[in-house]
């Protein structure tokens, strides 16, 4: 199989896997235990924290290790909102956030908070005019993802910060940006941000959230002792060590190669499929690793399944939204119809993607949407109405 779904997850790097195994075998103690074995594991944890902090140019005290991007978003958003609730209960977000952000906000809505969801412009960026209009005297938080995970558009965080009152907490989901976009100055723009290991060739089940130490924040649940009381559960020291090792190895390594792969892919699409496709791009700022596109009259799930049958792994949106109505929500936020949303597919590149992989993929797409008899031209109406359940994929 040729894997082209790196925005969903990445394979663990072999050197990183060795580090995980070594730490798991030799530093297996509970980091909260006061004996020697626990102390050794604690040292691994704190050395990892310092290394990640140095990479991100932030103080180690602000880094909290988590089980991944989802928990990072939920902990930051809910904890910060609750800590600021005495000032107000209004939160601003976009219509195209990751499902974990919407999950946290839904929890807060059930606790009496009010959430305003701002649309995107046709360029795939949050509508700044609508965002500015949404700000109220009781607005306490804004949460806007740094890089859209479906089309790769980069959000103008500095411009958003300029619109916000100084007392409004600003959180960003930086999971898709981590390792690809320079985050060294991000702490100067936002109050908190989330990152994840498995998007950058590290192990799954590990992530981190940075929260400015000046922000008053406490854990959602009382009496928790791990990670300065922000979360509970025995700390995953082997996973954290491997996560940081992957970050140190891959941060900033793939941008130029991703640009070349993107250019090749778009050129091949134009040459082989001409006007049969529409690439959903941002003319303002774009992550080259992710390409979102549609083929009119072809459901994205059909194309994804046909590609899988022919040996190519692609997606129809974020992996966390595949089995729900949230897949393709970016297009709706940009003003496209829900019918067009269903036509959406996502291609994403990584360290093992070759130029030959790209050329082969375009040929497969040409077979699928270019009148290939394997699918059947007489079934055009069936293609348009196809509703394939993808449970278990």
Per-residue pLDDT of the chain (393 residues; tens, 9 = 90+): 999 999 999 999 999 999 999 999 999 998 888 899 999 999 999 999 999 999 999 999 999 999 999 999 999 999 999 999 999 999 999 999 999 999 999 999 999 999 999 999 999 999 999 999 999 999 999 999 999 999 999 999 999 999 999 999 999 999 999 999 999 999 999 999 999 999 999 999 999 999 999 997 877 877 676 777 688 788 999 999 999 999 999 998 889 999 999 999 999 999 999 878 899 988 889 999 999 999 999 999 999 999 999 999 999 965 555 444 445 689 999 999 888 899 999 999 999 999 999 999 999 999 999 754 444 444 444 444 443 333 232
- For residue 16, count other CB atoms closer than 10 A to its CB: 24
Dmax over Cα atoms in the chain, in whole Å? Answer: 72
- Check: CB of residue 149 under 8 Å from CB of residue 315: no
- Check: CB of residue 199 under 8 Å from CB of residue 9: yes
Active-site residue numbers? 320
User: Beta partners for 64?
Assistant: 209
Query: Residues with Cβ < 8 Å from 53, sequence gap 6 or more?
Result: 59, 60, 62, 63
User: DSSP class of residue 355?
Assistant: H
- For residue 132, count other CB atoms closer than 10 A to its CB: 14
- How far is the C-alpha of 143 from the C-alpha of 84, rounded, in Å? 14
- How far is the C-alpha of 149 from the C-alpha of 204, rounded, in Å? 18
Taken in order of first residue, the domains within the chain and their CATH numbers are 2-7+253-370 (3.90.1150.10), 14-250 (3.40.640.10)
Q: What sign does the dihedral 238-239-242-248 (CA atoms) show?
A: negative
């Amino acid at each position: 199989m040729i894997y082209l779904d790196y925005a969903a997850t990445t394979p663990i790097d072999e050197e990183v896997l060795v580090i995980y195994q070594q730490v798991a075998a030799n530093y297996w103690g509970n980091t909260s235990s006061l004996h020697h074995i626990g102390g050794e594991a604690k040292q691994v944890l704190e050395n990892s924290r310092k290394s990640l902090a140095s990479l991100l140019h932030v103080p180690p005290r602000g880094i909290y290790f988590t089980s991944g991007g989802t928990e990072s978003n939920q902990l930051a958003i809910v904890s910060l909102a609750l800590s600021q609730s005495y000032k107000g209960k209004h939160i601003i977000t976009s219509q195209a956030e990751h499902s974990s952000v919407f999950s946290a906000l839904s929890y807060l809505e059930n606790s009496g908070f009010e959430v305003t969801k701002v649309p995107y412009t046709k360029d795939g960026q949050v509508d700044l005019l609508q965002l500015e209009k949404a700000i109220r005297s009781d607005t306490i938080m804004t949460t806007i993802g740094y890089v859209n995970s479906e089309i790769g558009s980069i959000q103008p965080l500095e411009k958003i910060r300029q619109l916000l009152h100084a007392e409004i907490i600003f959180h960003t989901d930086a999971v898709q940006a981590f390792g690809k976009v320079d985050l060294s100055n991000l702490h100067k723009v936002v109050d908190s941000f989330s990152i994840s290991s498995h998007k950058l060739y590290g192990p799954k089940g590990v992530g981190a959230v940075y929260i400015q130490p000046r922000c008053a924040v406490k854990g959602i649940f009382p009496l928790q002792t791990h990670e300065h009381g922000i979360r509970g559960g025995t700390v995953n020291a082997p996973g954290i060590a491997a996560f940081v090792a992957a970050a140190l190895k891959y941060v900033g390594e793939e941008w130029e190669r991703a640009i070349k792969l993107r250019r090749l892919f778009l050129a091949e699409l134009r040459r082989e499929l001409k006007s049969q496709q529409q690439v959903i791009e941002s003319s303002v700022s774009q992550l080259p690793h992710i390409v979102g596109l549609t083929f009119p009259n072809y459901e994205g799930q059909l194309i994804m399944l046909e590609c899988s049958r022919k040996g190519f792994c692609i997606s129809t949106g974020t992996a966390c939204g595949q089995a729900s109505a949230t897949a393709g929500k970016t297009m709706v936020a940009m003003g496209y119809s829900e019918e067009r949303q269903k036509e959406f597919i996502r291609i994403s590149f990584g360290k093992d993607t070759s130029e030959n992989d790209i050329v082969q993929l375009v040929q497969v797409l040409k077979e699928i949407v270019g009148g290939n008899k394997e699918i059947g031209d007489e079934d055009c109406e069936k293609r348009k109405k196809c509703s394939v359940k993808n449970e278990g994929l």
